[in-house]
Each structure stands twice: as structure tokens, then as C-alpha cells.
């Protein structure tokens, strides 16, 4: 995905709704958002989000399906995972003081890891899209929108 305008950080729950909750009241809008992001080529997520997604779905997928999700996630959604999702890579180093500073704002460990890795590897993403706006408002340095709000804004 070359030069892009308005890169968007996408939270795990957007992908969970798409893959697991097809009867969810937000499913249709969620799909519209993912399609719009794929067409624009402006979607990003972190390795933490992909690991979290794999963890959530590991209860319902066999080993082959789980590995397929890991390997083909970027192609399926036309998003970039940063840092890159390679089995031979190491979990990104995160300074404990920085992580603890995020935790002090009233953030879960998983969300703090996402914010820390995004701050380091996706500082250019000034918009975050999530179904849990209240988890990230005033914690993410840019604008936090739901997929519905994002679709209305573009």
C-alpha cells in the first residue's frame, strides 16, 4: 500500500464482528467500513491486534485455520499489520515506563499494548476505528470513531 491519505488504525473488535458475529446489529455497517478501507488502502492494525484476534478465534478454529488467519489476514482485509506479522519475528520491544504511563490512564493491558505499539509503529495514523470508543478516547492521540462514524465522515 504505497503513499496513502488518512491512514486508519483498526481495532480488533472490528475484525471480530466480521469473522464471528454475523448477526450483530452492527455487522452490515462493519462490513461496509471494511470494504471502504480495503478500497482506499488506508487500513492498518498492530501485531497486538492480530495476536488478540487469533487468541479470540483460537477457541473456534483448528490449527490449520488459525495459521491461515495469521498468514492471510492482510490479504483478506487489505490492511497492513505493523510491525509485520512474521512467525520468525520477535514481539516488539515496549518500554515498561511508557506502557505503565498508558496503564495509569485507566486502560486494560491489551489496549495499552495496542496503543504502545501503534505509537511506535503507526505514529502517522491519526484516526482509530473501534466499536469501543470509550476505551480509547483521550488515550489515543488522534480521533477515535466507530465504523459508522467513520463512514459518515468520508
In a domain, 2, yes or no: no
Percent of the chain with pLDDT strictly greater than 70: 97
Cell matching residue 60: 473456534
Give the structural domain span for 134.
Answer: 8-153
Would 52 be classed as within a structural domain? yes
- The answer to whether position 3 is within a domain reads no
> Cell digits for 73?
489476514
Please check whether residue 148 is in contact with residue 32, taking contact to mean a CB–CB distance below 8 angstroms.
no
User: Is there a contact between 8 and 77 (Cβ–Cβ < 8 Å)?
Assistant: no
pLDDT digits (tens, 9 = 90+) for 54-80: 999 999 999 999 999 999 999 999 999
Does residue 107 fall inside a structural domain?
yes
SS3 content of the chain, % helix, strand, coil (to 5): 55, 10, 35
The total of structural domains in the chain comes to: 1
Q: Is residue 1, in this structure, part of any structural domain at all?
A: no
Model pLDDT, residue 106: 94
For the segment 100-121, what is each residue's pLDDT rounded down to a tens digit?
999 999 999 999 999 999 999 9
Residue from 4, 3, 7, 2 nearest 126 by CA = 7
Does 77 fall in a domain?
A: yes
Structural contact between residues 54 and 91, judged by C-beta atoms closer than 8 angstroms = no
Whole-structure pTM value: 0.93
Residue 150 to residue 8: CA distance in whole angstroms: 10
Categorize the per-residue pLDDT at 4 as very low, low, confident or very high, splitting at 50, 70 and 90: very low
**Which CATH number fits the domain that encloses residue 32?**
3.40.50.1010
Amino acid at each position: 500500500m504505497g503513499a496513502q491519505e488518512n491512514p486508519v488504525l483498526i481495532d480488533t473488535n472490528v475484525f471480530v464482528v466480521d469473522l464471528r458475529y454475523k448477526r450483530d446489529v452492527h455487522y452490515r455497517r462493519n462490513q461496509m467500513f471494511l470494504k471502504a478501507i480495503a478500497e482506499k488502502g488506508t487500513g492498518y492494525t498492530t501485531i497486538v491486534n492480530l495476536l488478540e484476534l487469533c487468541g479470540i478465534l483460537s477457541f473456534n478454529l483448528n490449527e490449520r485455520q488459525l495459521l491461515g488467519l495469521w498468514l492471510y489476514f492482510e490479504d483478506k482485509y487489505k490492511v497492513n499489520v505493523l510491525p509485520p506479522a512474521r512467525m520468525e519475528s520477535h514481539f516488539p520491544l515496549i518500554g515498561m515506563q511508557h506502557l505503565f504511563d498508558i496503564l495509569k490512564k485507566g486502560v486494560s493491558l491489551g489496549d495499552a499494548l495496542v496503543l504502545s505499539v501503534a505509537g511506535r509503529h503507526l505514529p502517522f495514523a491519526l484516526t482509530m476505528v473501534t466499536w469501543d470508543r470509550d476505551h480509547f478516547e483521550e488515550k489515543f492521540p488522534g480521533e477515535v470513531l466507530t465504523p459508522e462514524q467513520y463512514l459518515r465522515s468520508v
